[in-house]
Structure 1
Amino acid sequence: MELDDFKSAWQSLDHRLQLDNTLKLLELRERRLDKARGSLRPLFWGQVAQILFGIPFILLASLLWMSQPAHASSIVAGVVVQAYGVLTIVAAGIVLGQLGNIDYSQPVLVIQKQLLHARTLYVRSGMIAGLPWWFLWVAVVQTLAGLGDVDLLVKAPAFVWSGYGIGIAGLLATGWFHRWARRPQRAEFGRKMDDSLSGRSLRNAQAQLDELQRFERD
């Protein structure tokens, strides 16, 4: 075999190997991205459930407005309940919007950044939906009482003020614990807590992207 023929055959073989590796990488990328998308489905439906969860609070406040409440405390409680319902729905909608905006045709690093932004929004959405319950339950009871033209603040002031007091104390304790868990000497504990807050769906999707990134790098 002539030297030129040998070089040509070698280049052809090298081209085929490169093409084969490229096709395998594309196949792996598509498979990992499909798994990442699938991992996010529970998160999607969870946010839909949060939207459905927020609707009854808006309806409850609407019933109060229809009853034309005369007590200022009932009106304030109704505003709080309605605001909670609206914010809960909006927060979930923002997360759904971010999930829909993830562009899986982009490089893995870009997708990871988009997923990280979705994680941040998801954690905030969970805080909006969960933290107000330290005191929201009192506002809900006040609103229900207002439907019957009962001013709960006048009828049972100890119940109302103690409920709000417990709520404020609970929020302060939650904030203190959040800072305590993120001190440098408890970095591992703080990381585990962050992972628990971010949800399994996001962690699984991130794991698929991390594995794909390692394969591309190697």
Structure 2
Amino acid sequence: MDTTMELDDFKSAWQAIDRRLELDNRLKLHDLRERTLHKARGSLRPLFWGQVAQILFAIPFILLAALLWMSQPAHASTIFAGVLVHAYGVLTIIGAGVVLGQIGRIDHALPVLEIQKQLLRARTLYIRSGMVAGLPWWFLWVAILQVLAGLGDGDLLAKAPSLVWSGYGIGIAGLLATWWFHRWARRPERAEFGRKMDDSLTGGSLRKALAQLDELKRFEQE
């Protein structure tokens, strides 16, 4: 009888210890999750302000195009250049706004895997936004020169046709070369190089946040 009671007491004590250990592990995991998610949110601040800076960077191009429209340009080539500059400003702002919207939609109360998916979506949008802001500069500088000439009622294409045509030609060649390199870097035999290139295009804050969540995910799975 006494032996049975001792065994029951031992089992009860062991179960109590097991429950305490389980509760302690849950509390530690919860604390780790909160600290990691706080760090991840902090890591995204540079990305947020970077997109705000991109919006501020794009506004002068819209204003420059607006000045051109107010001057009522008469030359078709100048109008074409004004449309390019205006479109660049608008699309650059839209690209940054889409990234900011995705950052704002990240729900840190979701499971880690879902948060990672949202961050990867933000990463894709960030890369696309960067392409919109960066790639047009292959030829945008020519359009800006044309707009500046148009503000003085000048036609840069008529005054310096070789500059304009060669500038756009170089821009088209540069875009094609960039497209070719993008395809070349992503062939299966160069997968590692392509991954490194993607990492270089991804903002440091996004890489840091994703790495922090990867560490948390591994800990939860252990």
- Give the TM-score normalised by the residue count of structure 1: 0.98
Which one of 41, 47, 72 corresponds to residue 45 of structure 2?
41
Matched residue count: 218
2:83 paired with 1:79: yes
Identity of aligned residues (%): 80
Which one of 122, 132, 151 corresponds to residue 128 of structure 1?
132
- Give the TM-score normalised by the residue count of structure 2: 0.97
Can you list the C-alpha shifts for 1:35-92, whole angstroms capped at 9, x where unaligned?
A: 1111111111110000000000000000001111111111111111000000000000
Amino acid at match of 1:119: R
User: 1:188 deviation in Å?
Assistant: 1.0
User: In 2, Cα distance between the equivalents of 1:129 and 1:105?
Assistant: 32
User: In 2, Cα distance between the equivalents of 1:132 and 1:146?
Assistant: 20
Alignment of 1:93-104 (within 5 A): 93-104=97-108
Match of 1:107 in 2: 111
User: 1:115 deviation in Å?
Assistant: 0.4
Amino acid at match of 1:197: L
Deviation beyond 6 Å, 4+ runs, structure 1: none
User: 1:109 deviation in Å?
Assistant: 0.3
User: 1:3 deviation in Å?
Assistant: 2.3
Which one of 162, 169, 173 corresponds to residue 166 of structure 2?
162
2:123 paired with 1:119: yes
Gaps of 5+ in 1: none
Match of 1:88 in 2: 92
Larger Rg: 2
User: 1:128 deviation in Å?
Assistant: 0.1
User: 1:7 deviation in Å?
Assistant: 1.7
Find the residue that maps to 1:105 and give its secondary structure.
coil
2:199 paired with 1:199: no
User: 1:183 deviation in Å?
Assistant: 1.1
Find the residue that maps to 2:220 and give its secondary structure.
helix
Match of 2:192 in 1: 188
Match of 1:140 in 2: 144
Deviates more, 1:49-58 or 1:5-14: 5-14
User: In 2, Cα distance between the equivalents of 1:10 and 1:53?
Assistant: 65
User: In 2, Cα distance between the equivalents of 1:108 and 1:184?
Assistant: 29
2:218 paired with 1:214: yes
Gaps of 5+ in 2: none
Can you list the C-alpha shifts for 1:118-170, whole angstroms capped at 9, x where unaligned?
A: 00000000000000000001001000100000011111111100000000000
